A and B are shown apart, each in its own frame.
Chain A
Amino acid sequence: RKEVEQDPGPFNVPEGATVAFNCTYSNSASQSFFWYRQDCRKEPKLLMSVYSSGNEDGRFTAQLNRASQYISLLIRDSKLSDSATYLCVVTLSGTYKYIFGTGTRLKVLA
């Protein structure tokens, strides 16, 4: 079983739609959680950190459910520019190394 699991997609949605991605992690010692965005043939870039209380940044909302060991990302009012791969990232307590999911590919269609 992978440590971090994501639905690879692709999710094809029209502009203006709301889309949600989930990510599950297997290790209960997971400490920090992030969503990174990766455009085709580019490097991953931090979209947002995920906090226990949930957090929002404009059209993006991230949630963490420690009991069920999953995190989510909600994108409202999708833009064409949101088309990318969204990477779920987890770190374990006491370590700095990132554990990545395979990523979820989003295509926003005009």
Chain B
Amino acid sequence: EAGVTQFPSHSVIEKGQTVTLRCDPISGHDNLYWYRRVMGKEIKFLLHFVKESKQDESGMPNNRFLAERTGGTYSTLKVQPAELEDSGVYFCASSQDILEQFFGPGTRLTVL
């Protein structure tokens, strides 16, 4: 069975540009999460989808970040416009229930 996949694996953009990250969860997992690790800090929660609905978006840093999960399958996270402090590794995870979350390999975003 395929795990969580993320695209792209790396992205280098300039400040002010837009970037869209994609996550494909494990098939059948209704729960999808986005997390971010900024260099030197712990991994932090951004938001949680149940199917296509946003269950918890308490971790979204500001309105430059927009997450969608149309149709309840894959999800996208758009950053517009990107700022220097947005650099980090963005992880997506999925789960069937409240227990184990399965993480994707992450997208390493660098904003110059």
Interface residues of A (CB under 8 A from B): 2, 4, 32, 34, 42-46, 49, 87, 91, 95-103
Q: Do the beta carbons of A98 and B45 come within 8 Å of each other?
A: yes
A-B contact count (CB 8 A): 52
> Would you call B33 an interface residue if the criterion is a C-beta within 8 Å of the partner chain's C-beta atoms?
yes
Q: What's the least CB distance linking A97 to chain B, in Å?
A: 4
Cα–Cα, bound, A22→B95 (Å): 26
Considering the chains assembled together, what is the distance between the CA atoms of A87 and B104 in angstroms? 16
The complex places the Cα of A2 from the Cα of B102 at a distance, in Å, of 24
| Chain B interface category by residue count | 20 to 34
With contact pairs A43-B91, A43-B106 given, residues A98 and B101 touching in the complex (Cβ less than 8 Å) = yes
B33 contact from A32, A42, A97, Cβ within 8 A: A97
CA distance A87 to B103 in the complex (A): 13
Complex CA gap A34/B43 in Å reads 14
Q: Let me know if B2 is at the binding interface, CB within 8 A.
A: no
B105 touches A96 (CB 8 A): no
Cβ–Cβ contact B105 & A42, under 8 A: yes
Chain A residues within an 8 Å CB radius of B59? 97
Nearest first, the 4 A-B pairs at minimum CB distance are A43-B103, A97-B45, A100-B43, A102-B42
Instruction: Please determine whether A96 and B100 come into contact, CB atoms closer than 8 angstroms.
Output: no
Bound complex: CA of A4 vs CA of B33, how far in Å? 19
Residues of chain A with a CB closer than 8 A to B58's CB? 97
